Structure 1
């Protein structure tokens, strides 16, 4: 799946209300992510945009699953952050709980996940998550 390019004036999919270029676009372009929540939002945007390379590089070492990370049938519709625990600039770990809404073949769904993040060599990475419906 080829990832979609966002125009510089496009709204960021992560829901922060900023332009993509000033929000998740800078992280997709290689700027370090300052917090676990910012990484969560940038990963959601990568799912929306089909940016598998970013998803792979933002995963913690040793935890990247085998096989493709994206499903072309899924259309992501929105992200709501429910809570964050730690995950700031001075922390080594963090937790972000979120709900992501989606459609598959016209059928709406929602996924709630409690995601864990860790710093590796000073950079935030996605460790794993517990999904609940």
Structure 2
């Protein structure tokens, strides 16, 4: 698994930047959520899920997927390389519902791919969970 041993200075896969426009290190970004702390909002959860895809961390992805839509397992594409994430919008619907629109880029077998989705999240028992999303063409 390529990102399991990320150093303290390695940029977080999600691409979040600090106030000066510098990449945040993994340990100061998504790592606390991967270690079990609840993400503070839907955008942080979505970013941490992207980082979990990069790291091929199926356990985290399944644990943050709402039980009503969670698959039995996650299969990763062998050889898929994630290239970057752009969050387009984070919309708070109410205290327990939010949406995040994002574009995730990857490369597989020499071909570039783009995943553009508006994801829906729900907060239950103090934790955000991915429910589902609508794909853009």
Q: Say yes or no: TM over 0.5.
A: yes
Once the two structures are superposed, the pairs formed by residues 1-133 of structure 1 within 5 Å of their partners are 2=1, 4-5=3-4, 6-16=6-16, 17-86=23-92, 91-133=95-137
In the superposition, the TM-score normalised over structure 2's length comes to: 0.88
Long gaps (5+) in structure 1: none
CA distance in 2, matches of 1:80, 1:50: 19
Superposed CA RMSD? 1.5
Distance 1:31 1:20 in 2: 14
Structure 2 unaligned segments of length 5 or more: list them: 17-22
CA distance in 2, matches of 1:27, 1:109: 27
Q: How many residues align?
A: 130
Counterpart Cα distance in 1 of 2:43 and 2:95: 12
The answer to whether the 8 Å contact 2:62/2:73 transfers is: no
How far 1:32 sits from its partner (Å)?
A: 1.0
- Distance in 1, matches of 2:25 and 2:127, equals 23
2:74 partner SS: coil
Q: Contact 1:3–1:52 (CA<8 Å) still a contact in 2?
A: no
Alpha-carbon shift at residue 61 of structure 1 (Å): 1.4
The alpha carbon displacement at 1:4 in A equals: 2.9
